[in-house]
Chains A and B, each alone.
Chain A
Amino acid sequence: MTITTFSGFLIGLLFGFVLERGYFCHFSGFVDATVFKNYRILKATLWTLLFTTVGFHAAAAAGIIQLNPKPLLIVANLAGGVIFGFGMFLVGACMAGTTFKIGAGTIAYFLAAIGIGAGAFFTREGFLKPYYKNIQEMMKIEIAKKSPTLDNVLGANPWIIVIILSIIFIFLLILLKEKNIGSRAEKISIWNKIFVNRWSPLFIGISIAITQILAFYASTKAGKKYAISLTEGYSLIPKSLVHWDFSNSIVTWGYLLVLGIIAGAVIASLLAGEFKIKMPKTKHLIIMPIGGILMGIGAGVGGGCNVGHLLSGLPQLSIGSIINSIAIFATLYILVYFKFIKNKN
């Protein structure tokens, strides 16, 4: 293993730490926002997208990274997003959420992760591989042999799109501005602010964006050339165990990234005094692996999860990532609506 590959673990540590401190999960955040009008994680997501979109383009302009937007595979993006959305609903966490919540000691999410690994492995390396390859080729659209992005489809300067998106994100953040309920004026030490208290949406956004730019730079050195995405690691970890092969072609930057996220979350939750091994309830023994398998298949088919597509793909203006993200959250909305919103008191 080279130091460039190992940097995946270090970036994972940092990302896992940030995720746990922010308690940043797109399932929790989605339910909080749609059912309870609690916009903490939605705001953190908007800050993240704002800083990452600007950051990626600035870093690309400075020659630090080279953008590498995901392809537009209309059928795969839609099908993958819908399957992933179903899985996320059953597990009750997104891909990032599942990973860092393992680090905080909840065994139920480890069961989900086993499902994700199995689903991603079957799709990318196992018996579903022929179908996955076929679906990926259906309605695959390229523009001058490049992945379609908002800027190359519209024939616009990417910075114009970046500025328009930034204005939209800022507008939404202003719209969601709310009174700080029950905030106390007491002085909080820097240590407590970073290691004990939950982070503010703004601080989460800045931290994830910085982690993303570092990830893009480091993964390029390691030959992956993408920001944070978890699907590769989730499909390779089972592969290494099945074949008992830990060579460089399997233990990649993305493989170590996933392990790093878990380790980072362990450290964060221990420092905060939140770490506790929590045994699953009986219902979790069934629902978590099933939901996980769907998440793994969905991410495998669609070419990424909510992190690879929304947090890393949208900032690169990839249309495939935007369509996949919409499919994930539209599916989730329908399920959350019937389960939690329709009969809400």
Chain B
Amino acid sequence: MNQEKIQLNLTGELCPYPLILSLKKYQELKNDVNSGKKILEIITDCLSAIDNIPTEYKKRGFKVDVQKIEAGKWKIIIKK
């Protein structure tokens, strides 16, 4: 299945907004992300986010992968 990647660039946003804004985006795409049609990719340089975003989405039953793009910047991939 060809999964469409939806990227959300939250660079510069500070705690707690990366998690709050990612959930807002998730609510918009809920059906497609839940069915596995779409993958949510979050770009963040907030150090709280690399802890609380994975925790929140794992709790919601997603597979979460945190990849380091460069020092102090990460891509968080959220999929079913």
**Residues of chain A whose beta carbon lies under 8 Å from any beta carbon of chain B:** 23, 25, 27-28, 31-32, 35-38, 40, 92-93, 101, 104-106, 108, 181-182, 198, 269, 273-276, 278-281, 284, 340, 345
B1-36 residues with Cβ-Cβ distance < 8 A to A are: 12-17, 19-20, 23, 27
- Contact B58 A28, beta carbon cutoff 8 Å: no
Residues of B within 8 A of A (CB): 12-17, 19-20, 23, 27, 45, 47-48, 51-52, 54-56, 58-59, 64, 68, 70-73
- Tally of contacts, chain A with chain B, CB under 8 A: 71
The answer to whether A275 and B13 have CB atoms under 8 Å apart is no
On whether the beta carbons of B58 and A181 are closer than 8 Å, the reply is yes
Q: A274-B72, A345-B23 given as contacts; is B59 within 8 A of A181 (CB)?
A: yes
**Residue of chain B at shortest CB distance from A276:** B72
Q: How far is the CA of A23 from the CA of B52 in the complex (A)?
A: 11
Interface centre among A104, A108, A274 (most CB of B within 10 A): A274
- The answer on a CB contact under 8 Å between B55 and A274 is no
With contact pairs A276-B73, A279-B12 given, residues A32 and B52 touching in the complex (Cβ less than 8 Å): yes
Asked if A25 and B72 sit within 8 Å, CB to CB, the answer is no
How many angstroms from the CA of A110 to the CA of B27 in the assembled complex?
Answer: 33
In the complex, chain A residues whose CB is within 8 Å of the CB of B72? 104-105, 269, 273-276, 278
How close is A193's CB to chain B, nearest CB, in angstroms? 16
Question: Pick the contact of B71 from A32, A37, A276 — CB < 8 Å?
Answer: A276
| A-B pairs, 7 with minimum CB distance | A276-B72, A31-B16, A181-B58, A28-B48, A182-B58, A28-B15, A281-B12
Flag if B55 contacts A40 (CB, 8 Å): yes
Q: When A104-B72, A274-B72 are in contact, do A23 and B58 touch as well, CB less than 8 Å?
A: no
Distance of B59 from chain A, by nearest CB (Å): 6
Interchain Cβ contacts under 8 Å between A and B, 11 examples: A23-B48, A28-B15, A36-B52, A36-B55, A37-B59, A40-B55, A92-B14, A92-B17, A269-B47, A276-B73, A281-B13
